[in-house]
A and B are shown apart, each in its own frame.
Chain A
């Protein structure tokens, strides 16, 4: 059986200076990788790129952009290429996507770009795109997913950077709820604070909620958070304080409960070997008192410290410090 797709020539060497780029086929993000650049500089391009030759002999690259860029950077004159006749560009586009997905997992930014290109540049709608491309991309055939991907494709550069760094489509789509300029501001701020993927997703979620509940803009929320954290603090510590500050804005009642609990706990002066753990989010009935002991004597000293607290409490029921721990129940 012979394949139905467009047939290429055998491999030829093309002059790099004669090649033009067709952006409809570009979806790799980031567009360059240093490992590939190094390899091409040392060994040249091994896998041929794909070129479409028009009747007027115009040579357009449609697959292998990273290799092409690396070859240019390395100052190579020619590059190995498979050339195709013009006219079946959409088939080539699909083959190009399939070639890529066979060797690596595309990130959400790239997948959204593929869908955008198929829609915007090749003029296909949901039915045709989901029919031929979704399988190649490993996507469920769903209109919702298609709409989400098109929304993500419209993001600005900072948002694209964030979603391409390993975010799931669902998490990436949360950014669609922001106005474009606010989305960029938020993403730049997140990048600046170097939150990882899951913290970035949480931050987006929290700021989205705060926007809705408090009717504040992203700029205002960021300014509020910044105002609560000293600018002189070192980066990782400051970023995590900013995160806490936003979490407090999102859940002020829970934050107050935690503060009250902490204050009550500190007033008890328990030894460090005793940990007091309220239920997660104060949902539950019990507090856990955990005693950590390395040996018999450290266990005894923890017990003694606890008995002191118990004695003080039983003598002083009026102004009990211990009951402060249970105020949330």
Chain B
């Protein structure tokens, strides 16, 4: 069975003849799709399954998105906002990371694919009208941007949309090596291919179904060679055995495949989770050590490593990255200003590299 291995495809009546639906049917020819009047009436929660999260990952639901496609990443009071817009074209993800917030976050556990892409284009134009500030847009918030690309070619569609809208920079963020379609396209200045990276130890214990580090970086190398810009996200940074050495090596590996001038930005985010995710991780990933550290509850109701540990993580990574690429924009995810100041000696406003990225 090829990855992602769906066992069920549900199609909303009104989406039966959309191009995306046709592609999906052709991509998984062995699955007889079930045509339904209302997707919401069918196996939303999958609570009768022994592992509803895993069962959701095996069900693809295609239908129009009735809500908004684009939302500004809401940010959190007291944390520095990185001014990111999110496009929800796919919700749900076939990869299975222990720390994934989607395990507890989505009320619909299936992988939902919006078939009304034309509405997305209208919405993007409406959002971009009347402003001049640069904005960053990504699709990797509620899914992996490239996980379904071999089958559905969504990257090309999105790139074509944004290529002619230079005010926005589109980031396709992935943990895969699914770059074949991108190698057939003309690179564009406002498109960035981003990789979430981690040490091989964390990838193998906590990122089921994702490509290994070697494959991700080999893909990044090809992408850079082809002329695209890339980005890297150390998120989540996890304290584990010999993490310092492990992460330093990942930094070295990154810059061996991508020269600093080709790296649009790098982000650092320490492992954080809503308290309710703890039991989910324990149940679904009994072999994971990711919870075996000292965490405290933070004002945004998320658990984080106790402050000195977080600072150690960030400083180690920052030093390793700055030594290789002093002018590559580097930022922290979901951290308060006091952590920024302790790590960088100032806020993002004072960093000219970051001003261009954050807008």
Contact = CB atoms under 8 A, between A and B. Distances in A.
Interface of A: 126-127, 130, 140-144, 147, 170, 173-174, 177, 209, 212-213, 250-254, 257, 279-285, 328-329
Nearest to B280: A144
B292 interface: yes
B294 A329 contact: no
Given A143-B50, A147-B50, A280 B297 contact: yes
Interface in B308-359: 308-309, 336-338, 342
28 contacts: A126-B48, A141-B47, A141-B48, A142-B47, A142-B48, A142-B52, A143-B49, A144-B52, A170-B279, A209-B291, A212-B289, A250-B294, A253-B294, A253-B306, A254-B294, A254-B296, A257-B307, A280-B297, A280-B299, A281-B296, A281-B297, A282-B306, A284-B78, A284-B299, A284-B336, A285-B337, A285-B338, A329-B342
Contacts of A144: 47, 50, 52
Nearest to B303: A281
Contacts of B309: 253
A329 B338 contact: yes
A140 B47 contact: yes
Interface residues of B, number: 26
Contact of B338 (A250, A257, A284): A284
A143 B282 contact: no
B293 interface: yes
B109 to A, nearest CB: 12
Contacts of A147: 50
A283 B50 contact: no
B341 to A, nearest CB: 9
A126 B47 CA distance: 12
Contacts of B50: 143-144, 147
A254 B308 CA distance: 9
A284 B337 CA distance: 9
Interface of B: 47-50, 52, 78, 279, 282, 289, 291-294, 296-299, 304, 306-309, 336-338, 342
Contacts of B337: 285
Contacts of A279: 299
Q: Which 6 residue pairs spanning A and B have beta carbons closest together?
A: A281-B296, A142-B47, A285-B338, A213-B292, A283-B298, A253-B306
B231 to A, nearest CB: 28
Contacts of B292: 209, 212-213
B271 to A, nearest CB: 14
A127 B47 CA distance: 12
Nearest to B275: A205
Contacts of B336: 283-285
A126 B289 CA distance: 31
A281 B342 CA distance: 17
Nearest to B342: A329
A253 B282 CA distance: 23
B272 to A, nearest CB: 11
A312 B294 CA distance: 37
A151 B52 CA distance: 18
B291 to A, nearest CB: 7
A251 B47 contact: no
Contact of B293 (A126, A143, A213): A213
Contacts of A127: 48
A158 to B, nearest CB: 22
Contacts of B49: 143
A252 to B, nearest CB: 7
B280 to A, nearest CB: 10
User: Max chain B CB contacts within 10 Å: which of A126, A127, A130, A142?
Assistant: A142
Nearest to A170: B279
Contacts of B307: 257, 282-283, 328
Given A213-B294, A281-B306, A284-B338, 7 more contacts: A130-B48, A250-B294, A253-B308, A253-B309, A283-B296, A283-B298, A284-B78
